[in-house]
Chains A and B, each alone.
Chain A
């Protein structure tokens, strides 16, 4: 069966510090991978998605970046965090595209920027 892991679970970082959140998927090959941010009252905001190694699409301009160094590894990074980067970050995976696509989520990382 497929599983998805995220770490860390919780992170408190000062403004201006770097960020690295990691997501890994097990039990599937060549998944589509996604990073979302969830803020209260705003729903899930898609930040990045990737259909393969080294292929990253950005949905929202910001000071965050994403990388996919391996097939089942997706990393969310920042060189300098802003207060507005605080939120709940979710990684998700899917297979295929188009009709019937379903995404499966990881447990999330709670980020607090102070």
Chain B
């Protein structure tokens, strides 16, 4: 069974602070996605990374894909209350077909004003 582990599971910080959340596996991804989900809504795609070492930026969010394509991180600079939500990573495994996307359990992030 291929697993995606996300850490931390819960994180509560003050507005303006920086934070990093992680997504790790012992297996190699062909691609990895990060999603943000708000209560009662479906996950919304933030980014897809496919190349080892790749870094993508989305405003104050920086996504990094590990060189070996086994891990990824999401760094938020100067967090704002609007960043509050559940952050999910999902990996597509090498050789996987249409069903090849596995989700982590997510990081619950709360940004306090």
B98 contact from A32, A105, A106, A110, Cβ within 8 A: A32
Q: Are B40 and A110 in contact (CB under 8 A)?
A: yes
B42 contact from A43, A57, A100, A106, Cβ within 8 A: A106
Residues of A within 8 A of B31 (CB): 99-102
A103 contact from B50, B90, B105, Cβ within 8 A: B90
Interface residues of B, count at CB 8 A: 26
On whether A101 and B105 interact (CB within 8 A), knowing A49-B99, A107-B42, A108-B40, the answer reads no
Bound CA–CA A98/B31 (angstroms): 8
User: Which A-chain residue is minimally distant from B96 (CB atoms)?
Assistant: A98
Bound CA–CA A43/B97 (angstroms): 21
Q: Is B33 an interface residue (CB 8 A)?
A: yes
Counting chain A residues whose Cβ lies within 8 A of the other chain, the interface size class is: 20 to 34
Q: Other CB < 8 Å A-B pairs besides A100-B30, A102-B45, A103-B101, 12 of them?
A: A36-B103, A41-B105, A43-B105, A51-B98, A97-B100, A98-B96, A98-B97, A99-B31, A100-B50, A101-B31, A106-B42, A107-B42
10 sampled A-B residue pairs with Cβ under 8 A: A43-B106, A46-B99, A46-B101, A59-B99, A94-B98, A103-B45, A105-B43, A107-B42, A108-B42, A110-B40
